[in-house]
Amino acid sequence: MSPHDTDDRLEALFAQLTREPDFDAPELQAFDAADQLILRTAADDLADHPFEVPLGVDDVVVIGDRHGALTLGAATVFGVAGIRTHQDPLLGERALAQNARRMQLAGRYTNHGLDAAALTGARVVLVQLPRGLDALAEVSRAIARWADPEVRVFAGGRVKHMTRAMNDVLARDFAEVSAGLGWRKSRVLRAAGPRVPATTESAFPRWGADPDLDFSLAAFGATFGGPVLDHGSRLLLTTLADTQRQPATIVDLGCGNGVLAVSAARRFPEARVLATDQSTAAVAATRLTAQAAGVADRIAVERSDALEAVPDAWADLIVLNPPFHTGATVHAGVGHRLIRACRRALAPGGELRLVFNSHLGYRPLVEREVGPTRQLARNAVFTVLSATRES
């Protein structure tokens, strides 16, 4: 297939993709130029330097696909089945599934964690580059550890989010690393020749400590914020003793490394805590943080979208430090979506405790969607609000 034919087929496929059920807005797309460049670069490389045995079932792995462009593009361009796909966000998995069903490609891939089942024997790995170097380091080491010795890695992203340090991360695990030419503000890094890891032990999870905490924090590569107490959560925790009633049921919405869930469990030892996040890495990190802090028996951790795992009117307290980005795109609508979900899950008289970047101006939305609101704390960057659901 010529490069022109490849691009035509990909553009026709991408035109059918949607982000549903992920957060959507007119300015957001289900794909970008990096998806197309990764697939075209891989196709050209395989055409110019084919394997002795052509690609077949289980040979192709996709890591970091957002809404299906890479997975379904690989099924279309390479004509293979058994594609193994790892997506950290749950909504990305669901969007891929919906797109695959609509295009009658649902049987061409399977979902996996970032583990041996995903990567053993892989000969081609397509990667949407994460923005964080820790996330890339975990991906890179996993590929080198488990993939076929002849594996070829094609890792692409938008140039504005790429750094030279990404080449260096890959070079720790691969003997050959090179950067392709830019195209439509995107670029692809190629890697081959996996180095045998000095140890089979993973560098993740990583652990961190903070003088304001009496427990340690765990994080995997894709855990937002890493194993540290972020500044917004730090400010929220200074207000945790200020509750109008002792909560019996608490939700940490978007739990990340688990710092808010564990702090709430320790502050309110009689309460049941439910920690939720759509990120696989966040859920795994929260479980480890809770275990290390000795409160795992009182914290249930669920990988779920927003508050779908929470029954109606269940929560006496919801703590929320919402993201303000979707993938690499900053968008306040992500936080709006989570705030709007809170009223249904709050018990009458229940409280939403929210911290956010002050310039986002969430207070009118919180008052409208939840109820009477008061400011508990504010510094140069962040604001903490308490909103009560009226009976």
Beta-carbon-side half-sphere exposure of residue 185 (alpha carbons within 13 Å): 4
Tell me: the pLDDT tens digits for 6-37? Answer: 889 999 999 999 999 998 777 889 999 999 99
Supply the pTM of this predicted model: 0.94
Tell me: the pLDDT tens digits for 244-260? Answer: 789 999 999 999 999 99
Residue 252 main-chain phi, psi, to 5 deg: -100, 105
pLDDT of residue 390: 85
- Alpha helix (H) residue ranges in 79-115: 90-102
pLDDT of residue 201: 73
The percentage of residues in the chain with a pLDDT greater than 70, rounded to a whole number, is 96
Tell me: the pLDDT tens digits for 89-131? Answer: 999 999 999 999 999 999 999 999 999 999 999 999 999 999 9
pLDDT of residue 5: 81
Beta bridge partners of 259: none
Q: How confident is the model at residue 243 (pLDDT cuts 50, 70, 90)?
A: confident
Output the furthest CA–CA distance in the chain (Å, rounded): 69
Q: What is the mean pLDDT of residues 207-226?
A: 97
Tell me: the pLDDT tens digits for 141-196? Answer: 999 999 999 999 999 999 999 999 999 999 999 999 999 999 999 999 999 999 97
304-343 as b/e, with b when 16 or more CB fall inside 10 Å? bbbbebbeeebbbbbbbbbebebbeeebbebbbbbbbbbb
With 0-12 / 13-18 / 19 or more C-beta atoms within 10 angstroms meaning exposed / middle / buried, residue 174 is buried
d(CA 389, CA 372): 7
Q: How confident is the model at residue 1 (pLDDT cuts 50, 70, 90)?
A: low
Q: What is the mean pLDDT of residues 216-223?
A: 98
SS3 13: helix
The answer on pLDDT for 346 being more than 70 is: yes
